[in-house]
Amino acid sequence: MKPLGDLIQEGRPWLPLEWMDESLPTTFDNPDEFIVRTSEGFILGYPDDHDDAYHNMPLTPLDVINFGWLENFGEWTLVANEAGEFIVPGDYARQAEIHNIDWNEYINTSIDDALDSYYEYENEPDFGTEINAQAYTWHEIKLIFIAEPKPHFEVYEVPEQ
């Protein structure tokens, strides 16, 4: 076990992986923000949502929780050429694991698949049409809950990448 240290950065969203779905619930910049003290002990949840059964899970010392943190590679504007095809800039983050167009609900594993989904569900673009492509990766990490002296998470295990 070791402290989270450099893994905590402003603007780096964290979320318990069990909560990930098509639409993401609220993320925090530090997984410790999900630790909520109750009269019975602790829960993994949101400080304001004590009645939300799905997002409030009992948390006991030494529990190991699978978390994810988001590496956002950025957003690019793609412009359709005369043939109605979007041109992907050379600096686009093809190494990202998740690609999306205009933050729609279609999550894809490559920019080419994201564009195929776009073409399938949208009208063929006219010359000069612009769309925004997003590229990001969720990194998985196992954290262990330490209750004393101050409740916090520490790194338990980092999966091999």
Range of the domain at 64: 5-69+138-157
Poorest-pLDDT segment among 17-31, 35-49, 144-158: 17-31
Torsion angle of C-alpha atoms 2, 5, 7, 8, degrees rounded to 10: 130
Q: Within this chain, do residues 89 and 127 fall inside the same structural domain, yes or no?
A: yes
Q: Within this chain, do residues 52 and 86 fall inside the same structural domain, yes or no?
A: no
**86 beta partners:** 80
Q: Within this chain, do residues 59 and 96 fall inside the same structural domain, yes or no?
A: no
Q: Within this chain, do residues 115 and 125 fall inside the same structural domain, yes or no?
A: yes
pLDDT band at 51 (very low <50, low <70, confident <90, very high): low
Residue 49 has pLDDT above 70, yes or no: no
pLDDT given at position 59: 95
Alpha-carbon span 88 to 115, nearest angstrom = 10
Q: Which two structure tokens, joined as six digits, stand for 147? A: 């209750």
Best CA proximity match to 25, nearest among 63, 4, 57, 54: 54
Q: Within this chain, do residues 83 and 129 fall inside the same structural domain, yes or no?
A: yes
Compute CA distances 127 → 80, 89, 90, 131, whole Å: 5, 16, 20, 12
Q: Within this chain, do residues 77 and 53 fall inside the same structural domain, yes or no?
A: no
Q: Within this chain, do residues 31 and 15 fall inside the same structural domain, yes or no?
A: yes
Alpha-carbon span 87 to 149, nearest angstrom = 54
For residue 114, the surrounding DSSP H or E stretch is helix 111-121
Number of separate domains in the chain: 2
Q: Within this chain, do residues 77 and 129 fall inside the same structural domain, yes or no?
A: yes
Q: Within this chain, do residues 57 and 46 fall inside the same structural domain, yes or no?
A: yes
Instruction: Determine the 3-state secondary structure of 141 from DSSP.
Output: strand
What is the rounded average pLDDT of the residues 151-161? 81
Alpha-carbon span 63 to 153, nearest angstrom = 10
pLDDT given at position 78: 95
Instruction: Determine the 3-state secondary structure of 145 from DSSP.
Output: strand
Q: Within this chain, do residues 153 and 117 fall inside the same structural domain, yes or no?
A: no
Q: Within this chain, do residues 43 and 54 fall inside the same structural domain, yes or no?
A: yes
> What's the mean per-residue pLDDT of the chain?
88
Percent helix / strand / coil, the chain, rounded to 5? 15, 40, 50
What pTM was computed for the model? 0.78
Q: Within this chain, do residues 80 and 131 fall inside the same structural domain, yes or no?
A: yes
